[in-house]
Structure 1
Amino acid sequence: MSQSNRPRSVIVSGARTPMGRLLGSLKDFSAADLGGVAIKAALERAGISGDQVDYVIMGQVIQAGAGQNPARPAAVAGGIPMSVPSLTINKVCLSGLSAIAMADQLIRAGEFDVVVAGGMESMTQAPHLLANSRTGTKFGDTKLVDSMAHDGLSDTFDQVAMGELTEKANSRYDLTREEQDEFAAASHQKAARAHKDGIFAEAITPVLIPQRKGDPIEFTDDEGIRPDTTAASLAKLKPAFAKDGTITAGSASQISDGACAVVVMSAAKAAELGITPIAEIGAHGVVAGPDATLQTQPSRAVQKACAREGIDPKELDVVEFNEAFAAVGIVSTRELGIDPEKVNPNGGAIALGHPVGMSGARVVLDVALELRRRGGGVGAAALCGGGGQGDALILHVPAPA
């Protein structure tokens, strides 16, 4: 069913933190801390106050030890009153995009006029778990379980690493080590160029890092970008998930910390407040199966969203595929049949990082801002998710009047 004539909601602003590497500059910030930073900046950029917000939806994947409903302290830290309800969702890597899609759905249903949505994650602060500790260990050793690996980076059906699952599935698609290394190197090179050109500054809000003495330091740049990365340098890395495999640490996304939030409004509310939207939200595509593999989930989700929108995928001007692995970006680009130049023009998670609860919101904001820089157009943001699912969201940015 085409949704081209349905009432629309709009994104009026967005902000993200820089992404910190594992145990990097953001190691002392919880996911809720980072979410608060992103929410505060998104509200400021929209020019609205926290008491104008009706609802908050934030994705977070690794919630063990994070406290009750982490979206709630994130919202309060971002300047939203205690009287505004908040919801935390977990759809693994799809969480941040799903939060924005849910905001759109609630607004179009007439429930709310203004919703803050996004995602947040501190992978660094993911705790280790002592399984069965409540019932006790009668005899022998016990072990700690890494909640980051268990809840975020392992397949839910058989508990193998997502990289191992992806490696096994690569044989279906005739993927070579060389093309995955080339894709990964291009991610770093595009991200380095975008950073140099100030493109990321449009989205990033600084995080103030307290010091033992003196003023806080402003953390402003993504830590994962390596400008000197080449396919030749990546070729020296050993396979990460199988002895003769094709995936390495260099062609997989980085473990990271960060947060991203956007302000979603009904088009009528934005007009009432005199706010010019940065993007109009189109159709949402969701897919799952037929198994737990990842490679085609983003492209299938985009195809479904485009069908609901009544457009051909080839009409898309920009597509952001979350680079969980280079294999996902390569296969989804191939399956969608689009020009690779349209895909991830400023790099992706291989270079920038992949805070799992945040990334869905980050790719949505990236599409919106890239289309605005280009003077308008239509784009799609899409991700794969653990358990074998995919989500995509269509965005429209009108040409300037």
Structure 2
Amino acid sequence: MTKLRRAAIVSPLRTGVGKFQGALSGIQAGELGAIALRALVERTKIDPERIDDVIFSQGYPSGEAPAIGRWSALAAGFPISVPGYQLDRRCGSGLQAVVEAAMFVQTGAADVVVAGGVESMSNVEYYSTTMRNGARMGDVAFHDRLTRGRVMSQPVERFGVISGMIETAENLAKDYQIPREACDEYAARSHQRAAAAW
């Protein structure tokens, strides 16, 4: 087996975090991604031409910025030669983007990859699945992607409606008898390690 190259996280950064329908709600997710990309270039002084790919994840993707990695790169002023894409692994999407970036670097498929997650739950769409061919008469149903995403995240006819990540965490803690104090200690230790690594 060929030896894998070493991959490193070089310059982590993030935008501010706002409340639902709060101060940042006027900024679409794709533009939040572009803000982060422009800040990355400013901080590192990297020539965007050197970036081999931009992988952004989004749990609630929007038709307003499809392939959000590419969209954000273009909005940030990157040259059109820099590719980008979007992935969705629900609540693990941001981590999956970093994993894929690391695999690209480790295997030699890329040297420099920007990866992360981008989301604006304040701007998640309402949508209809019945309008493509027009509505002749009667009511039209719209779905809220935030709530519908939880319902449709698996085949309902097979699994029913399952809960979100908060409920899943509570259920797992109960099933495996993990006390709240142990969870809190683990979370605090994780944050301390992240701060120390920074």
Fold similarity call, TM over 0.5: yes
Scaled by the length of structure 2, the TM-score of the pair is 0.79
Greater share of residues in helix: 2
Cα deviation digits, residues 294-333 of structure 1 (max 9, x gap): 44xxxxxxxxxxxxxxxxxxxxxxxxxxxxxxx1684699
Which of 140, 148, 161 matches 1:142?
140
1:331 and 1:38 map into 2 onto residues whose CA distance is: 38
Which of 358, 368, 371 matches 2:196?
371
Which stretches in structure 1 are left out of the alignment for 5+ residues?
Answer: 167-251, 253-292, 296-326, 347-362, 374-401
Map residues 347-358 of structure 1 onto 2, 5 A cutoff: none
Q: What letter is aligned with 2:32?
A: L
Structure 1 position 340, deviation (Å) = 4.0
Cα deviation digits, residues 276-306 of structure 1 (max 9, x gap): xxxxxxxxxxxxxxxxx944xxxxxxxxxxx
1:108 and 1:19 map into 2 onto residues whose CA distance is: 31
Cα deviation digits, residues 83-108 of structure 1 (max 9, x gap): 11111111111111101000000111
Q: What letter is aligned with 1:8?
A: R
Q: What letter is aligned with 2:196?
A: L
* Contact 2:30–2:65 under 8 Å retained in 1: no
2:93 paired with 1:95:
yes
Q: What letter is aligned with 1:22?
A: F
Map residues 274-289 of structure 1 onto 2, 5 A cutoff: none
Structure 1 position 148, deviation (Å) = 2.1
* Contact 2:130–2:140 under 8 Å retained in 1: no
Give the direction of change, closer, same or farther, for the CA distance of 1:370–1:333 in structure 2 (3 Å limit): farther
Scaled by the length of structure 1, the TM-score of the pair is 0.42
The number of residues matched between the two structures is: 190
Compute the RMSD of aligned alpha carbons.
3.1
Which stretches in structure 2 are left out of the alignment for 5+ residues?
Answer: none
Map residues 246-395 of structure 1 onto 2, 5 A cutoff: 252=166, 294-295=168-169, 327=170, 330=173, 340=183, 342-345=185-188, 369-372=194-197
Task: Tell me the residue number matched to 1:160.
Answer: 161
Q: What letter is aligned with 1:115?
A: V
Greater share of residues in strand: 1
SS of corresponding position for 1:58 = strand
SS of corresponding position for 1:345 = helix
* Contact 1:53–1:80 under 8 Å retained in 2: no
Q: Greater relative contact order (Cα 8 A, min sep 6): structure 1 or 2?
A: 1
SS of corresponding position for 1:51 = helix
1:128 and 1:78 map into 2 onto residues whose CA distance is: 27
1:329 and 1:345 map into 2 onto residues whose CA distance is: 19
